[in-house]
Structure 1
Amino acid sequence: MFIGREQELKILNETYDKPGFQMTVIYGRRRIGKSRLITEFIKDKKASYYVASQTSLEDNVRKWGGQFIDDIAPELEGAEFSDLENFFKFVGNTCKDERVIIALDEIPYVAEADESFLSRFQIAIDTILAKKNIYLIICGSAISFMEKEILSEKSPVFGRRTNQIFLKPFDYLDSAKFVPKYSAEEKAIVYGVTGGVAKYLSLFDDRLSLDQNIINNYFTSSGYLFEEPHNLLTQEFRTINTYNSVIEACSNGANKVNEISDRTHESTATLSYVLKNLMTVGVISKVFAITDEKNKKKVSYEITDGMYRFWYRFVPMARTAIEMGRGDVYYQKYVKDKLHEFMGEIFEYMCRYYVLLKGMDGELGCFVTNAGKWWGNGHDRKPTDIDVVGIDNTSNKALIGECKFKNEQIDKGIYEALMDRKGLIDRKYEEVQFLFFSLSGYSKWVEENADKGKVKLLTLEDLYI
């Protein structure tokens, strides 16, 4: 079953419906669902889809030609191409007036096999493909390569594309569609431990318990996610030791450059390079205190990929138990009770996304155009933070919120603590709404004393409505 990606399919279909040559570039991190999106889009259309190999250009041309013949001209089965230009001439002669889709997946493999490929591909586009009723889709997982070699002004194929799609992880709402039988709490945890990545979500079977799914994927030596971060880092970077150390440091609470440097014993120059690459592939994000983005002291580097966050938090220490076949015991004893704590920051992210959705629909007292978190000194000059801040830049209004993913109700103390944070964010914003998000509901005092005009008491279930 194909889930989600309605907006991306809409873009592809609208581009397909335009006459003449069109070109779409699709890119995004590995396992995100790019290939599945393409195959879903082309399934009822005349199309040829080829996934490149990490082999020579000649080998890829031969395989690509064979795939094209199988898909478009099966009557010529057995014909082979070893020359790129002859293959493109054949494509041009074969594609007449009928609309044809040609999709090349993992284009970096071909381009890296022969540095002349992109220039020759550009010539073929200009002299052959652009004169036909062809819809060309090129796709790649190496994000830095796609941005520098395909999308940048320096690329030989720059200016040829109609549009591009940067495929991102599923949000928590679409992620829930992979496990429809689960409770809201279980759906949220699945989103948290997979990061909304399509491949990882597809591994979870809601006929099994949540615990069993996590054990099967993370805490068994044959589990798909047991070695996944190492596999991904190896595919993205030539040497991974420093990258591994940086992610590990962030996982253990080092979120400033100087803190990461102290933990990894790497220079700030090295860290700048490594952090930039990790941000490019979506593992780490550079987070600013909202309304205070220019304050360089309020910059934090956080693991935003849920799979990496979960793996580095729990799997390395469990490796011995997992390899002895006792990973399930380790999970039950040391991991299960920490899931709510692990979900704390992920729940905050879910709540910010909810604020954006509902705020743009006009349901929260202002038109929210940006959402984030804030940290700094409170009115008593002691460090404090605000989990959710939604900003309406059109009218200088704001909302603030508190999130608790715990088996405890939000009580009077938590309620009053958020109310005491009024006025901490930039004073140009009028705070018009106060939101509470709770896994376990609210105490009687909060239910009876909350200002119903300005305060919303939301549960996890409300996020899925």
Structure 2
Amino acid sequence: MLGLPDVEVGGFRRAFELIKLKAPRRLVVVIDEFSYLLLADKNTPAVFQAIIDEKLDDRFFLILGGSLLGLMEGLMGYTNPLYGRRTAQLKLKPLGFFHVAEYFRDKPVETVVKIYSVTGGVPMYFRLFRGDDFGRELLETAFSSTSILYEEPEFILREELREVHRYYIILEAMASGKHRLSEIAHWAGIEAKDMPKYLRTLISLDLVRREVPVTESERSRKARYYLKDRFFEFWFRFVKPNRGRVEIGTFEMDWEAFNTYVGKAFEEISRQFLLELNKTNGLPFRFTKIGRWWHKKEEVDLVALNEREKKALFIEVKWKELGKGKRREF
């Protein structure tokens, strides 16, 4: 498009000089996986600082994209050479259930719920499924040693973190049902006083979320910690503990346990559904907060609140087949 000659440019500075010579009135320049440039050369931010300050003008719109969150967020730090030079930032999040359902629009809703429960809203993951035979497709995509999903969480953790082993055990603890800080620390063999720094890192990577009862303030000591990434939760719950069996050919899927797992994921889908209804005034009142509630041994799956109007909606989420009698009872 720019009509540049086929030459060796000798670095990014020279490349942008050539682009500037041939640029039309307005040009968008996109560099994807910029985070790998940062890994390859620690001077990359300084090089691009000089390019932005010396080579670019109002004709250029430069977009730097990357999948390693820690490195990309580091570009915005005060001590980074690129600090103060960004005009915007966008943190891409997984797609919601209804977007995934649109992709599988001709498939049964039950199948889409199961796919979402495994993959979340990550296109790279859910596009591995066709939705024709979920059970077979799950075994092929997650429980085959040649599948890209088989070791995916390990690759991501090694790229993002130091002390990978400790984070690995913390995520294992959450997948096994340990959600209070003290429970996670005991499972992982880490002193409770050291846990917050690990949890903060996992939260910043969108792998873990911190929850308090919906009626409590964010500073509440009743916090629980859950795996936020759907695929990570599935992987630590089902794939990681069974890899030995997979590799010697004796693995058999526990579909009853999987169905229980889908029930937990369905709570998140239900939350998204209620948020959509709230936008369109499809509920008895518009809520301003929604989340779980618990106290001692009592727990409600979802509570939607309007604190100003002092109204509450209590929702119990069920993922199971019910006969007519049970439906009427429920």
Q: TM-score, normalised by structure 1?
A: 0.66
Distance change in 2, residues 1:72/1:319 (3 Å): same
Larger Rg: 1
Distance change in 2, residues 1:155/1:365 (3 Å): farther
Distance change in 2, residues 1:410/1:346 (3 Å): farther
Mapping of residues 196-275 of structure 1, within 5 Å: 196-206=121-131, 208-275=132-199
Residue 254 of structure 1: CA displacement? 1.3
- In the alignment, structure 2 segments of 5+ residues that lack a partner are none
Aligned to 1:4: none
The question of 1:186 aligning with 2:111 is answered yes
**DSSP-derived class of the 1:85 partner:** helix
Mapping of residues 167-186 of structure 1, within 5 Å: 167-186=92-111
User: Distance between the aligned counterparts of 2:60 and 2:316, measured in 1?
Assistant: 52
AA aligned opposite 1:240: V
Aligned to 2:328: 444
- Give CA-to-partner distance per residue, 1:298-341, whole Å, 9 cap, x none: 100111211111111112332233112344xx02xxx2222221
Aligned positions, number? 330
User: Distance between the aligned counterparts of 1:410 and 1:404, measured in 2?
Assistant: 15
Q: Is the 8 A contact 2:70 2:160 kept in 1?
A: no
Q: Is the 8 A contact 1:390 1:398 kept in 2?
A: yes
**DSSP-derived class of the 1:196 partner:** coil
Deviates more, 1:166-175 or 1:224-233: 224-233
Q: Is the 8 A contact 2:180 2:223 kept in 1?
A: yes
The question of 1:338 aligning with 2:257 is answered yes
Aligned to 2:69: 143
Deviates more, 1:318-327 or 1:241-250: 318-327
Q: Is the 8 A contact 1:169 1:197 kept in 2?
A: yes
Determine which structure has the larger strand proportion and give its number.
1
Q: Is the 8 A contact 1:178 1:201 kept in 2?
A: no
Percent of aligned pairs sharing the same letter: 26
Aligned to 1:457: none
User: Distance between the aligned counterparts of 2:14 and 2:242, measured in 1?
Assistant: 54
Q: Is the 8 A contact 1:359 1:365 kept in 2?
A: no
Aligned to 1:80: 8
- Give CA-to-partner distance per residue, 1:352-387, whole Å, 9 cap, x none: 11111111211112222332111115xxxxx21111
Residue 269 of structure 1: CA displacement? 4.2
**DSSP-derived class of the 2:89 partner:** strand
Equivalent residue in structure 2 for 1:102, among 12, 29, 35: 29
Residue 137 of structure 1: CA displacement? 1.0
User: Distance between the aligned counterparts of 1:410 and 1:105, measured in 2?
Assistant: 54
Aligned to 1:127: 54
Mapping of residues 17-56 of structure 1, within 5 Å: none
**DSSP-derived class of the 2:295 partner:** strand
**DSSP-derived class of the 2:103 partner:** coil
The question of 1:374 aligning with 2:304 is answered no
**DSSP-derived class of the 1:156 partner:** coil
Q: Is the 8 A contact 2:46 2:81 kept in 1?
A: yes
AA aligned opposite 1:408: L
Aligned to 1:310: 234
Distance change in 2, residues 1:232/1:395 (3 Å): same
AA aligned opposite 2:255: K
**DSSP-derived class of the 2:124 partner:** helix
- Give CA-to-partner distance per residue, 1:46-81, whole Å, 9 cap, x none: xxxxxxxxxxxxxxxxxxxxxxxxx6335x01x112
Distance change in 2, residues 1:114/1:154 (3 Å): same
Q: Give the CA RMSD over aligned residues.
A: 2.2
Q: Is the 8 A contact 1:285 1:304 kept in 2?
A: yes
Q: Is the 8 A contact 2:174 2:227 kept in 1?
A: yes
- In the alignment, structure 1 segments of 5+ residues that lack a partner are 1-70, 378-382, 412-441, 447-465
Distance change in 2, residues 1:155/1:369 (3 Å): farther
Residue 238 of structure 1: CA displacement? 3.3
User: Distance between the aligned counterparts of 2:143 and 2:183, measured in 1?
Assistant: 30
Aligned to 1:405: 319
Q: TM-score, normalised by structure 2?
A: 0.92
**DSSP-derived class of the 1:250 partner:** helix
Residue 393 of structure 1: CA displacement? 4.6
- Give CA-to-partner distance per residue, 1:3-26, whole Å, 9 cap, x none: xxxxxxxxxxxxxxxxxxxxxxxx
Distance change in 2, residues 1:385/1:323 (3 Å): same
